[in-house]
Chain A
Amino acid sequence: MPRWAMVIDIDKCTGCQACVLACKAENNIPAVSREESARGRSISWMRILHEVEGEYPDVRLRFIPRPCMHCDNPPCTKVCPVMATYKDRDGIVAQIYPRCIGCRFCMAACPYTVKYFNWHTYEMPNLQQRMHNPDVSVRTKGVVEKCTFCHHRLQRAHDEARRQGRPLEAGSYTTACSQTCPTGAIRFGDLDDRDSEVARLAKSPRAFRLLAELGTQPKVIYLTERDRHAT
């Protein structure tokens, strides 16, 4: 069974937000009005975090694309009272929207703040409605949602493999964000396949995981910047 994982090279990220938009289009994420957004109600499964290090004149700004970490030891699934969020057989932390009671315990427990709540029934603008991805269910008000590693694409890859009577191949699917990233900063693949790009990158000395000290074992691995001043 593959262990789907993502490697994000911070050195290559330009903060262009293409991954954020690709994710929204792919996963039918509603646009939220300006006022609601100012109140902290926007939904963005993929978000570019800004980290400022140091003080002027010695400042460094870093962009950190942040999807769900799909932890191997997820703090969010433990606390869900109804198993509406759980780690599925592909190792992906999934959400069951029709079962979620909206208690938001998973939101409180996630150290990466990747969970989003549907505060209203969000109305899709006409244009967006016509672009609906039929593979992804839309969410009702009152439930929690988050990045699924484009799970519907994996399901399609599973179906395809079954139809052709072959096992699921490594690299048979990728997420929308990784597909879209113009600098190739986001790589996606099977961590257990030693020949895969993500497995190779994960072993890089530049590799680190966000809040690794919490023991959540994220399957999103970051690569730090290279030292540009070294000669």
Chain B
Amino acid sequence: MRPDAPTLELDLALINPIVKTSRTFFIAAAFLLLVILWANLAYRSQLVEGLGVTGLNQPVSWGFYITNFVFFIGISHAGTLISAILRIAQAEWRRPITRMAEVITVVVLFLGAVNIIFDLGRPDRALNVIYWGRYQSPLLWDVTSITTYLTASTIYLYLPLIPDVAILRDRVSRFNWLYRILALGWRGTERQEKVLQRAIAIMAIVVIPVAVSVHSVVSFVFSMTLQPMWHSTIFGPYFVVGAIFSGIAALIIAMVVVRKVYHLEAYMKPIHFNYLSLLLLIMSLLWFYFTFAEYLTGYYGGEPEEMKVFWAKLTGDFAPFFWSMVLCNFFIPVLILSFRRTRTILGALLASSTVVIGMWIERFIIIVPTLSHPRLPHAAAIYLPSLVEWAMFAGSIATFILLYMVFTKLFPIISLWEIQEGREVGLRHMEERVRAYLPSTPTPSSQV
């Protein structure tokens, strides 16, 4: 991992995206900026006229913004959590994946938090949450948990970036001042390496319970109320499982795109996709189990208010959403990923795309049907998102892609020093580890 290691030249392809920028990048960036501009205009109209410009109403007072909030926060589990678990498990195949995952977390988490602001009737008073905050409200749990996670995952992204930034500081002249600041005087001395490794190890452990807490408290916003099909004890773990599920899917999509765009086929090999696909398959089965348990329990009890929402989802107005969710989250990914012949990179991309769509629908189908079926008699309520809400949704996604693209232009999207470390230390460790698992070969002297 020393920057002057002789093998550094081997992996210089990883710096290429930073040094060279194609025209396609600028065209894509311009397009994304247009979408973001559109969302800005939409938000402006919402600020001036009020939330009336959305499709929200009484009683469906939460819609797209809250769905997007839950969805984005869910995707954020891609990164830090998966990367931390792989690091702790010392999975050697993690090396080209971790950074890509960690960047997703930081960017998407920020967008999730922003979507909550979009949803506020009085965003100018958002800081009241600090002035007048009440910890009895699950919303305060969200604020606490999400800011902690954002801080922790930013640190967790930054720490393993330091040695790479030092490499850039020594080799790249553009933005050299930035690299000089961020490298924190990294020279790769033995002491520095020891401190860094230790810090990464600590953060990897810290970040896991924080990540789990994040999506638990997001689910608590719903499950702490008394509303039918929200008031459920499994919501915490159900949301966490869904979050990791959609996170892995988003990660696979990002990997396929980055691999293609920056020609990094040598680093992201079919075997990486194979392992991630298997993880995705497991999460899909787990998701189905949770969904099944949740709906069966509600159905068997047959409480009338629960049943109103239940049938609205299974056979009523929301049936198209419900069944496409089941199709996208379970049948398609399981069918594609169960067989080695279809568990290819293309297969993984297809399955991941349906999972991301399916998980968005899941968030929607959890939030809206419950609200549109209040307990007391009420005029039939429909919720159709307005153009403003679509614009904000598109703008959020465009912001995500743009920030991700910009990151790849500033920093190596694959951790350079960790690949190098794999070439040197990783190989040796692996051999030692496998030796340690085996029964020790009896030496001649111990045999009597």
Contacts and interface: CB of A to CB of B under 8 A. Distances in A.
B137 interface: yes
B371 A66 contact: no
A9 B26 CA distance: 70
A104 B57 contact: no
Nearest to A140: B122
Interface stretch (B70-78, B126-134, B335-343): B126-134
B58 A41 contact: yes
A200 interface: no
A108 B132 CA distance: 20
Contacts of B301: none
A103 B376 contact: no
B122 A102 contact: yes
Interface string A107-122: 1110111001111110
- Determine the interface band of chain B, counting residues with CB < 8 A from chain A: 35 or more
A51 interface: yes
A100 B122 contact: yes
Interface of chain A, main secondary structure: loop
Nearest to B136: A78
B377 A141 contact: no
Nearest to A105: B139
Contacts of A109: 225-227
A62 to B, nearest CB: 9
A51 B375 CA distance: 12
B137 A50 contact: no
B132 A82 contact: yes
B139 A79 contact: yes
B264 interface: no
**Dominant SS at the B interface?**
loop
Interface stretch (B45-53, B98-106, B192-200): B45-53
A80 B137 contact: yes
B125 interface: yes
Which of A101, A143, A214 has the most C-beta atoms of chain B within 10 angstroms of its own C-beta? A101
B126 A101 contact: yes
A120 B49 contact: yes
Given A78-B137, A82-B132, A104-B62, A117 B226 contact: no
Nearest to A36: B52
Interface residues of A, number: 46
A40 interface: yes
Contacts of B226: 75, 109, 111, 214, 216
Interface string B260-303: 00000000000000000000000000000000000000000000
A184 interface: no
B374 interface: yes
A82 B133 contact: yes
Contacts of A210: 376
Contacts of A140: 122
A125 to B, nearest CB: 18
A101 B129 contact: yes
A176 to B, nearest CB: 22
B52 A119 contact: yes
B128 A82 contact: yes
B298 to A, nearest CB: 17
A41 B52 contact: yes
A42 B381 CA distance: 13
A203 interface: no
A93 B208 CA distance: 40
Interface in B117-157: 119-123, 125-126, 128-129, 131-134, 136-140, 143
A142 B126 contact: no
Interface in A26-75: 36, 39-42, 49-51, 64, 66, 75
Question: Which of B122, B129, B378 neighbours the largest number of chain A CB atoms within 10 Å of its CB?
Answer: B122
Given A81-B137, A99-B132, A113-B376, A105 B221 contact: yes
29 contacts: A36-B52, A39-B57, A40-B58, A41-B52, A80-B137, A81-B134, A82-B133, A82-B134, A83-B132, A84-B128, A84-B132, A100-B122, A101-B121, A101-B125, A101-B126, A101-B129, A102-B122, A103-B120, A105-B137, A107-B61, A108-B225, A111-B374, A113-B58, A117-B61, A119-B51, A119-B52, A141-B49, A142-B122, A214-B226
Given A51-B377, A81-B129, A102-B121, 6 more contacts: A40-B379, A81-B143, A108-B61, A109-B227, A112-B376, A119-B57
7 nearest CB pairs, A to B: A102-B121, A142-B121, A40-B57, A119-B52, A141-B50, A81-B139, A120-B52
